[in-house]
Amino acid sequence: MPPEGIEAISSTPYLLGARNGAARAETRKPFVSVLVPAFNEEPILAATLAELWHYMNSLGERFRFEIVVVDDGSTDNTRHVASEFAADKPNVRVVGQPLNFGLGQALKLGFSNCAGDYIVTMDADLSYAPHHIERLLTAIVREGAMVAVASPYMRGGAVAAVPLMRRVASRCANRLLALASNAHLATLTGMVRAYDAAFLRSLNFRAVGMEVNADIVRQAQILRARIVEVPASLRWNRPTKGRQGRSSINFVAYVQSLLIWAFLFRPAMFFLIPAAICTLVATYAFIRVATHDDKSLLLFAVTLLLACQLFCAGLISLHNKKNFEDLFNLVAAGSRRLGGRS
């Protein structure tokens, strides 16, 4: 029987090998960054971060994770609450900007501070429960997608306790953008998503408000990136008294911005549809003129001229859109090559 010391020494390489193997297995797990933008979320932020923390730990067999909180120029103690939560947790970080620049800039700052292979964006009020994170990650990995969207408006999704006017506005906005984008998505405005981090960093979006979500979809479409949706349950969490977060959004400005982004998705639609309507009116007026109704002559001339002008404007917009997309793809390809060399 070998001496006790020899047995101990001979077993050490096996112990080290097991530990190294476990370490390698740990580093092979996908690294997920959970990004939480926050503006004046002091009353709820600690509970939100605790719930996200415990949920992500429950996924520890599949993913490594970090939580990144972006304080978007809050005027309350949001930054302090987040920093206090992160104090004893090395994989929770807090970044911020001195003024409230809007969701778009908050996300852009957050994306640049995330180290994960995948980035999941979550609302600070958890209107989408944390279990959506696993659904999004499973979908984006399984489908090989660049973007996975939590969609309450697709089949299997649900909406609960949302105020009527907000719900109507959201549905109308998403239907308009779905029609304009032809992206076959039911939800384009939602923020709760999973992204392939490398792809996301290749984008250069400039939207500063809530329209950033539509902007990202638009750029992903131009680059022919795969976008998938997963059914989601949206439950409205009413703000506590005195909370002045993103729930105070100016819906008039929001609707205006959505109309602009719908135009950017498919500008020709805004010319060709009116052109078709004018053509129908001109046809009707022509029939009236042919039946000796001279009063319709002016209507025929005006609507026919307007239809021709709108049709030409639609063709020009189609040409300009194609040129823009070609240029966008060229610049994106150049950026990827430069990134690869560095």
Boundaries of every domain in the chain:
28-265, 269-341
Q: Residue 148 in contact with residue 231, Cβ under 8 Å?
A: no
CATH code given to domain 28-265: 3.90.550.10
Residue 11: what pLDDT? 42
What strands, in cross-sheet order, belong to the sheet with 193-196?
Answer: 92-97, 64-72, 31-38, 118-121, 193-196, 147-151, 227-231
How far apart CA 132 and CA 120 sit, in angstroms, is 10
| pLDDT band, residue 241 (cuts 50/70/90) | very low
Q: Residue 75 in contact with residue 106, Cβ under 8 Å?
A: no
How far apart CA 40 and CA 245 sit, in angstroms, is 5
Residue 307 has φ and ψ, to the nearest 5°, of -65, -40
- Look-up: residue for tokens 């060229």? 330
How far apart CA 134 and CA 140 sit, in angstroms, is 10
Quick one: which of 125, 199, 226, 157 has its CA closest to 171?
A: 157
| pLDDT band, residue 210 (cuts 50/70/90) | confident
Distance of CA 332 to the CA centre of its chain: 19
Give the residue with greater pLDDT, 38 vs 272: 38
Residue 314: what pLDDT? 84
Q: What percent of the chain has pLDDT over 70?
A: 82
Residue 57: what pLDDT? 97
Task: Let me know if 149 is exposed, middle or buried by CB neighbors in 10 A (0-12, 13-18, 19+).
Answer: buried
How far apart CA 4 and CA 308 sit, in angstroms, is 97
Give the residue with greater pLDDT, 194 vs 317: 194
Q: What percent of the chain has pLDDT over 90?
A: 56
Q: Coil, strand or helix: which one is 318?
A: helix
| pLDDT band, residue 283 (cuts 50/70/90) | very high
Burial annotation 164-178 (CB, 10 A radius, 16+ → b, else e): eeebebbbebbebbb
Q: Residue 35 in contact with residue 111, Cβ under 8 Å?
A: yes
How far apart CA 234 and CA 153 sit, in angstroms, is 9
Query: From residue 159, how far is each of 168, 239, 251, 286 by CA, in Å?
Result: 11, 17, 19, 49
**DSSP characters over 2-31:** --HHHHHHHHHHHHHHHHHHHHHHHHHSPE
Q: Which amino acid is at 191?
A: M
